[in-house]
Structure 1
Amino acid sequence: MTSLATIKKNGSLANKTTGSSFPSLSWFDDFAMNDFPSLFSSNFNTGISLPKVNIKEVADAFIVEMAVPGMKKSDFDINLDDHLLSISAEVESQHEDDDEGYTRREFGYSSFKRTFTLPESVDDSKINAKYDEGILVIHLPKREEAKRKPARTIKIS
């Protein structure tokens, strides 16, 4: 999904210059606007980043490349439902250290879901995917009638 507004790094859409005649408490303004994300942040997923995607069209296919390092093939779920391609993943991690009477436990959970509407020209029976060195590549071949034909000379009769 795309964002319709340019969002500052902290996700804020608010403008710090209010035009008010009251004196500004700049340290408070900075604290309020920079340390806490705005409710109006892009896609309301503050703190959760979606993987970056490259989509390119070649003569006989569309290729989707998604940067998702540190995952395994088994972490992904790729579905196709009526020209809607969904790519999702869920990862849980747990780590425990017990050293000299101290116990430290860390756990984490992360997930994402990206969806794409495929053009009618995609041959959905031949879609395939591979994951190698942190890059998920999905190959979306075009139907035969949608493939670009090579240039040719037509003789005049």
Structure 2
Amino acid sequence: MNVKENPTDFQIEFAAPGFSKEDFEVSIDNDILHVSGEKSKEKEQEDDNYSRKEFSYNTFKRSLKLPASVNTEKEAQATYKDGILKLQLSKKEAEKPSNRKRIEVK
């Protein structure tokens, strides 16, 4: 997992070759990002006197506590291409510092 912080967002990448976009479940619950992937495959081959079955099952789960600066109210973006799952999470707008006001003592 790679995490990159930019001025306006966070970009998170997961290497997950061999999956398809339907194999992923991505959610945010109480400021925790949950990412999981599950893929199963069954292959059967029959010849003259024998049959062979192969099963393949791949799964992963990752959870990550999000920083307070992530805007969980804004829609997150997720894309999967060339074996890489990319997430983009927006940051909250920075609070503007209050203007300092000088008060004269009389």
TM-score normalised to structure 1 length: 0.57
- What is the aligned partner in structure 2 of residue 39 from structure 1? none
Shift of 1:110: 2.0
> Which of the residues 121, 126, 132 maps onto 2:81?
132
Letter of the 2:87 partner, please give it.
I
Map 1:45-124 → 2, pairs under 5 A: 53-124=1-72
Shift of 1:69: 0.7
Tell me, which stretches of 5 or more residues in structure 2 are unaligned?
A: 96-106
Letter of the 1:89 partner, please give it.
G
Letter of the 1:119 partner, please give it.
P
CA distances 1:66-103 after superposition (whole Å, capped 9, x unpaired): 10011111100001101000000111110011122221
Counterpart Cα distance in 1 of 2:42 and 2:31? 37
Q: Secondary structure at the match of 1:126?
A: coil
> For the pair shown, which has the larger CA radius of gyration, 1 or 2?
1
RMSD in angstroms over aligned alpha carbons? 1.1
CA distances 1:32-68 after superposition (whole Å, capped 9, x unpaired): xxxxxxxxxxxxxxxxxxxxx1111111111001100
Shift of 1:123: 1.0
Task: Give the structure with the higher percent strand.
Answer: 2
Aligned length: 94
Superposed structure 1 runs of 4+ greater than 3 Å apart: none
What percentage of aligned pairs have identical amino acids? 39
